[in-house]
Amino acid sequence: MAVQNCRMPLILRKVITKQSGGCVRAVWITKMTDRYLSCLGTNYQIHREKGNVTGKNVMTGNVDKFGGITVHLNERDFPPDISESAFSIQLRDSLSHWRAEGRIAVWLHVPLIQSRFITAAAKHGFTFHHARHDWSTLCLWLAEGESRLPGFATHQIGVAGAVLDEASGKVLVVQDKNKTKNAWKFPGGLSEPGENIGDTAVREVLEETGVRAQFKSLLSIRQQHNHPGAFGMSDMYLICRLQPLTFHIDFCTQECLRCDWLPLEELAHTNATTPITSRIARLLLYGLQHGFHRIDLPVEQLPAVYSGMFYQLYHRVLPVNAA
């Protein structure tokens, strides 16, 4: 029977929601609700000890290698006819059970449509850990001492592309709209989840300027804490060296006030730019004159310790005869 078709008898519903335990509740569960509870699936479990029902409703979840448990409050296991008070009782019983089992923490994965359960969870000590578009994750530390749960993401990643035409010594720059100072800067933006740094730089350059380019290396990393554009979190700003594949500018008028190819020498010494742009212009000028191998951090893909996964490592090229 599908969950949405389950119907608990009215008298039994009152017994379960108004009684906190005891014989009456146990008798009704034994006689009337085995079918209903099995209909709800894995969420409601009847624990029998020596033939008697304990009356505990223990949520099921996935136990991780650290001893924590994650419960997903999906609509299949937690249908709309479960009240907040019934959920609170079930959560209370579950917490007692998990503490007895020695679980160190609980994670509640709450879809936006199930947000009515958050208030009940908060009354049991849960706090927000993080949230995305249509769900949030709450957590509760069960073990002794202060919580050792890891925090959520602490930084946002911005990536810019310094597109250098080596033949002319010019670099592609833009001026952003809606800025108090119309300073020249390299086109860039926030990296998307799962997007490699070089791919972000190439994408942002194309979106803002219409110029197609190829990733060559990582040039610099800037770290800034309490960044206003990161909701007070820390910001990592990475600038990459790109090689142009096209040169015609067709810039985005929604984001940019103007766009141009400027000589590196001019960009390195003009006051109409930001300190970081000026510094990278000087770095590019040095690479153009003395070799990019002196400034580049090229990328190498290596196997991760996690089976079947890889990561990208940016570092100076090792000499052939290096140990």
Kindly give the confidence (pLDDT) of every residue in the chain, 323 residues in length, as a single tens digit, with 9 standing for 90 and above: 333 444 443 333 333 333 444 333 333 333 333 333 333 333 433 333 332 223 358 999 999 999 999 999 999 999 989 999 999 999 999 999 999 999 999 999 999 999 999 999 999 999 999 999 999 999 999 999 999 999 998 899 999 999 999 999 999 999 998 777 889 999 999 999 999 999 999 999 999 999 999 999 999 999 999 988 888 889 999 999 999 999 999 999 999 999 999 999 999 999 999 999 999 999 999 999 999 999 999 999 999 998 899 999 999 998 887 76
Q: Give the closest residue to 156 by CA, choosing from 241, 238, 274, 277.
A: 238
Do 106 and 45 lie in one domain? The reply is yes
**134 and 209: one domain?**
no
Among all chains, which residue has been given the structure tokens 């937690």?
78
Does residue 56 fall inside a structural domain?
A: yes
| 45, 82 Cβ separation under 8 angstroms | no
In the 8-state DSSP scheme, what is residue 169? Answer: T
- The reported pLDDT for the residue numbered 323 is 64
Asked if 258 and 159 sit in the same domain, the reply is yes
For residue 14, what is the domain's CATH number? 3.40.630.30
Report the alpha-carbon distance of residue 305 to residue 300 in Å, rounded. Answer: 16
Query: Which one-letter amino acid corresponds to residue 167?
Result: A
Identify the pLDDT of residue 254.
Answer: 92
Beta-carbon contacts of residue 87 (< 8 Å; ≥ 6 apart) = 78, 117, 120
Expressed as residue numbers, the domain containing 173 is: 155-303
Q: Number of structural domains, the chain?
A: 2
Q: Are 95 and 65 in contact (CB under 8 A)?
A: no
| Measured distance CA(212)–CA(209) in Å, rounded | 9
Which SS3 state, helix, strand or coil, does residue 287 take?
A: helix
CB atoms within 10 A of CB 198: 22
Task: Tell me if 48 is assigned to some domain.
Answer: yes
Other CB atoms within 10 A of residue 249 CB = 15
CA distance 285 to 301: 28
Do 110 and 132 share a domain, yes or no? Answer: yes
Catalytic choice (84, 207, 255, 266): 207
Distance from the first to the final alpha carbon of the chain: 67
My answer on whether 38 and 60 are in the same domain is yes
Q: Kindly state whether residue 28 falls inside one of the protein's structural domains.
A: yes
Whether residue 62 sits in one domain with residue 89: yes
Claim to verify: residue 137 and residue 159 sit in the same structural domain: no
Structure tokens given for 187:
């086109």
Query: Do 32 and 128 have their domain in common?
Result: yes
Strands 68-72 and 127-131: unpaired
What DSSP assignment string belongs to 240-280?
A: EEEEES-------TTTEEEEEEEEHHHHHH-SSB-HHHHHH
What pTM was estimated for this model as a whole?
0.73
Q: How far is CA 211 from the centre of its chain?
A: 30
- pLDDT at residue 11 in the model: 35
SS3 assignment, position 15 = helix
Residues 279 and 209 in one domain: yes
Using CA atoms, how far residue 42 sits from 2, 36, 59, 289, 293, in Å, is 13, 12, 8, 68, 59
The number of C-alpha atoms within 13 Å of 240 and in the hemisphere containing its C-beta is: 30
Q: Give the CATH number of the domain where residue 193 resides.
A: 3.90.79.10
Number of other CB atoms surrounding residue 40 within 10 Å? 20
**Is 207 an active-site residue?**
yes
